[in-house]
Amino acid sequence: MSIRLGLQINNFSYGTGVADLFPTVVKQAHEADTSGFDAVFLMDHFYQLPGIGTPDEPMLEAYTALGALANATDNVQLGTLVTGNTYRNPTLLAKNITTLDVISAGRAILGIGTGWFELEHDQLGYEFGTFTDRFNKLDEALQIIVPMIKGEKPTFTGRYYRVQEAMANPRFREHIPLMIGGSGEKKTIPLAARHFDHLNVIAGFDELSRKMDVVRQACEKIDRDPSTLETSMLVGALVGDGVTPDAIPEDFRQRMVAGTPEQVAEQIKTKVLDAGVGGVIVFVPTQTLGYQPGQITALGEALKPLVTA
């Protein structure tokens, strides 16, 4: 299944008590499930991120929550955007994702990246290291995870990880889609071309056209048809009558749009899809007004025709 239209739920501060927190997540996922979205993603973080909230704001553990959402939805694919490889041993992550695929009857997506939020690593005891360290860890982890989710039994000894005939059973499918987030032209994009089904491009609107050229070149360099590597961008959507792009904070204007659902859709077409990116994953900020029933449905109805045309 392709991912042309996704919803990311990145905030769990709804102005409710804890008892109503997850039911609010379910309501958002249900709207996505019934209005044309292909996938629902959670962030894989333990603290809330800068720019969204303070570190002590509510943050659910991603795979526990996704397992519950598998029983609350029927159609959407489910995954993280994206898991920080540094947070989990690769064999544990292989079990996380194959278990989610069984629970959801074949709707799991493995989203993975190097990890980047240093505060989480420092406070929770995960080794952070340099970007090169984290990238090399990810490269080793993929040599374990990818064979395991295919039903193979890899034996591997590297600098960071060691496994002996590692298994992940049961499995629901022969292939679980692999997604990576990033846009590094020397490492991440070539890695995506070699191993991944989907690249979520982390870049500003004004960078997208050039990034897509780099994606094409990376695929062609290894004789891969560029059309076989799906692409998307994560875009924030401020939705409402009378809301204009002027309401977007200056620091976020290259990654957010604003207006009615129809205006949001037109901006995404112009800024993202017309730049050559294959799809869009949207998040709707809830920090100020909380969850607004119907917004996700309206977005789905406005956006779905653009990504299926």
Looking at every residue in the chain, the average pLDDT score rounds to 95
* Per-residue pLDDT, 89: 95
Query: Does any domain span residue 143?
Result: no
Separation in Å, CA 158 to CA 121, 188, 190, 231: 22, 20, 21, 30
pLDDT of residue 288 exceeding 90, the answer is: no
Identify whether 162 is part of a domain.
no
Residue 136 lies in a domain: no
3-state secondary structure 16-47: CCHHHHHHHHHHHHHHHHHCCCCEEEECCCCC
Structure tokens at 13: 């501060």
Tokens of residue 269, six digits? 């077409």
Q: What is the pLDDT of residue 255?
A: 95
Over residues 209-254, the pLDDT tens digits come to: 999 999 999 999 999 999 999 999 999 999 988 888 888 888 889 9
Within a domain: residue 228? yes
Query: Is pLDDT at 309 greater than 80 in this prediction?
Result: no
Cα angle 302, 284, 176; round to 5: 80
Hey, CA dihedral for 132, 44, 81, 96, is it positive or negative? Answer: positive
Does residue 287 surpass a pLDDT of 80?
no
What confidence score (pLDDT) does residue 286 get?
80
User: Which pTM was predicted?
Assistant: 0.96
**Residues making up the chain, counted from first to last:** 309
The pLDDT of residue 247 is 85
Q: What digits encode the pLDDT tens for the residues 92-148?
A: 999 999 999 999 999 999 999 999 999 999 999 999 999 999 999 999 999 999 999
Helix (H/G/I), strand (E/B), else coil: 304: helix
The structural domain count of the chain equals: 1
Is residue 211 in a domain?
Answer: yes
pLDDT for position 32: 98
Range of the domain at 217: 5-116+177-308
In a domain, 248, yes or no: yes
Burial tier of 44 (Cβ tally within 10 Å: 0-12, 13-18, 19+): buried
Q: Does residue 92 form part of some domain?
A: yes
Q: Please say if the pLDDT value at position 1 is more than 70.
A: no
Longest distance between any two alpha carbons in the chain, whole Å: 59
Please check whether residue 290 is in contact with residue 27, taking contact to mean a CB–CB distance below 8 angstroms.
no
pLDDT digits (tens, 9 = 90+) for 35-82: 999 999 999 999 999 988 999 999 999 999 999 999 999 999 999 999
Total Cβ atoms within 10 A of residue 105 = 11
Q: Are strands 39-42 and 5-9 parallel, antiparallel or unpaired?
A: parallel
134 is a domain residue: no
157-177 pLDDT per residue, tens: 999 999 999 999 999 999 999
For residue 268, the domain's CATH number is 3.20.20.30
